[in-house]
């Protein structure tokens, strides 16, 4: 039995807490929201973030970061990537022993293009950094909390770290975890797929159908491959659970916050209106800035990602901008 600390008791943090406690591990969840912490401790629910399902009675929550960090040697990061650097700085103030950091958040930092593993290395004193694992794959909290079959990858250059997280989260009834070593590939794929999910929502909001969505997923995957491989990813990772798997679920499921936000934009709302109607984080909007900068820096051809950027930040009219994609030069299908 292991002890786990989960930083961020939102929908995904709560679902991960449920799996770990179902698997007989001891879990403490940290969140800045007193309301969420109190609801988890009193009622074992988290209705704002995760309206369905229930946490196990033994999952505790706290607003005390020092207590949460001291509780275990495994720290799961499940806060929005926009606050990860801030939260890591806070953790670095209270950490007193070596910890394995596991990231389950999905996004890239604008301007620096840093992946979460790189931010952890920058912010956590190396004396206290045991290693880093990315836990990623097609997974909506709403399904996991209800015990629906889900498969993820636990990725680390250090196989024993990846295997430790694989063992903690795997069970024989609903959750299965593979290991992988390609951290760059997994972190890039899991960030970029949210931008394609925004596009998927936009085309759905515009009234396009399944043909369009299938084409978008396929061509979106090619763009993800171009960017990820340029940054050093193993091409095989693109077709794995954290690549194609996560892309499919996030582009096709109404649980996807990125899809939902895209749908609102396709239906005529601007980004600010769409985000103000969401109670959970929409990572694709922020990752689109980082991807737009990356594309320019490395001169990568990624027209779908650029289209999303133009619609949400340059206020292009969605339908016109999508139709413009159809007017690109005719050519061979480059894969």
Catalytic residue positions, numbered: 193
Q: Does 157 bind ligand NAD (CB under 6 A)?
A: no
CA 108, 114, 117, 119 dihedral sign is: negative
Site for ligand NAD (CB under 6 A): how many residues?
28
Closest contact distance (angstroms) between CB of 239 and ligand NAD is: 19
Among 107, 185, 201, 243, binds ligand NAD (CB under 6 A): 107
Among 10, 17, 110, 205, binds ligand NAD (CB under 6 A): 10
Nearer to ligand NAD, 62 or 237 (CB): 62
Nearer to ligand NAD, 113 or 208 (CB): 113
Closest contact distance (angstroms) between CB of 330 and ligand NAD is: 36
Any residues with CB less than 8 A from the CB of 179 and at least 6 apart, and which? 153, 154, 155, 156, 159, 162, 163, 166
Q: Does 12 bind ligand NAD (CB under 6 A)?
A: yes
Q: Does 106 bind ligand NAD (CB under 6 A)?
A: yes
Q: Number of C-alpha atoms within 13 angstroms, CB side, residue 91?
A: 38
Closest contact distance (angstroms) between CB of 133 and ligand NAD is: 14
Residue whose C-beta lies closest to ligand NAD:
10
For the chain, the distance separating the N- and C-terminal CA atoms, rounded to the nearest angstrom, is 45
Instruction: Name the one range near ligand NAD by CB under 6 A: 4-12, 120-128, 177-185, 235-243.
Output: 4-12
Q: Does 169 bind ligand NAD (CB under 6 A)?
A: no
Q: Does 33 bind ligand NAD (CB under 6 A)?
A: yes
The rounded distance, in Å, linking the Cα atoms of 269 and 167 is: 44
Q: Does 36 bind ligand NAD (CB under 6 A)?
A: yes
Give φ, ψ of 240 to 5 degrees: -95, -170
Largest CA distance in the chain: 60
Among 32, 41, 45, 171, binds ligand NAD (CB under 6 A): 32
The rounded distance, in Å, linking the Cα atoms of 291 and 108 is: 8
Q: Does 215 bind ligand NAD (CB under 6 A)?
A: no
Find, among 107, 112, 77, the residue nearest to 92 by Cα. 77
Rounded to whole angstroms, what are the CA distances from 42 to 39, 60, 94, 134, 292?
A: 5, 9, 27, 31, 44
Query: Which residues inside 231-290 make contact with ligand NAD, applying CB under 6 A?
Result: 280-281, 283
The structure tokens listed for 110 are: 């604008």
At residue 2, the 3 state secondary structure works out as: coil
At residue 16, the 3 state secondary structure works out as: helix
Nearer to ligand NAD, 107 or 205 (CB): 107
Q: Does 141 bind ligand NAD (CB under 6 A)?
A: yes
Q: Does 183 bind ligand NAD (CB under 6 A)?
A: no
Q: How are strands ordered across the β-sheet holding 150-155?
A: 60-62, 26-30, 3-7, 74-77, 99-103, 129-136, 150-155, 175-180
The rounded distance, in Å, linking the Cα atoms of 213 and 248 is: 10
Closest contact distance (angstroms) between CB of 197 and ligand NAD is: 10
Q: Does 110 bind ligand NAD (CB under 6 A)?
A: no
Residues in contact with ligand NAD, shown as a per-residue x/- string from 55 to 94 under the rule CB under 6 A: -----------------------xxxx-x--xx-------
Which residues sit at the interface with ligand NAD, rule CB under 6 A? Answer: 8-13, 31-33, 36, 49, 78-81, 83, 86-87, 104-107, 139-141, 280-281, 283
């Amino acid at each position: 039995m292991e002890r786990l600390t989960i930083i961020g008791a939102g929908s995904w943090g709560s679902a991960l807490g449920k799996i770990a406690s179902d698997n007989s591990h001891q879990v403490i969840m940290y969140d800045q929201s007193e309301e969420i912490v109190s609801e988890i401790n009193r009622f074992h629910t988290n209705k704002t973030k995760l309206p369905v399902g229930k946490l196990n009675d033994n999952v505790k929550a706290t607003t005390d970061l020092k207590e949460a960090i001291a509780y275990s040697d495994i720290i799961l990061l499940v806060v929005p990537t926009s606050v990860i650097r801030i939260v890591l700085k806070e953790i670095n103030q209270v950490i007193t022993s070596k910890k394995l950091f596991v990231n389950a958040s999905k996004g890239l930092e604008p301007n620096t293009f840093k992946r979460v593993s790189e931010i952890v290395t920058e912010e956590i004193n190396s004396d206290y950094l045991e290693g880093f694992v990315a836990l990623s794959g097609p997974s909506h909290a709403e399904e996991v909390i209800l015990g629906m079959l889900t498969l993820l990858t636990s990725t680390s250059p250090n196989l024993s770290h990846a295997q430790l997280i694989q063992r903690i989260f795997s069970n024989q009834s609903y959750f299965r975890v593979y290991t992988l070593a390609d951290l760059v590939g997994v972190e890039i794929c899991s960030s970029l797929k949210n931008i394609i999910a925004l596009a998927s929502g936009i085309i759905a909001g515009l009234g396009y159908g399944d043909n369009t969505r299938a084409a978008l997923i396929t061509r979106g995957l090619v763009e993800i491959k171009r960017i990820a491989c340029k940054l050093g990813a193993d091409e095989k990772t693109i077709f794995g659970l954290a690549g194609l798997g996560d892309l499919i679920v996030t582009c096709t499921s109404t649980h996807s916050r990125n899809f939902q936000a895209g749908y609102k934009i396709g239906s005529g709302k601007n980004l600010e209106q769409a985000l103000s109607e969401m109670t959970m984080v929409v990572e694709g909007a922020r990752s689109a800035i980082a991807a737009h900068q990356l594309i320019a820096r490395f001169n990568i051809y990624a027209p779908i990602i650029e289209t999303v950027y133009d619609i949400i930040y340059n206020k292009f009219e969605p339908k016109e901008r999508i139709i413009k994609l159809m007017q690109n030069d005719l050519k061979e299908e480059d894969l």
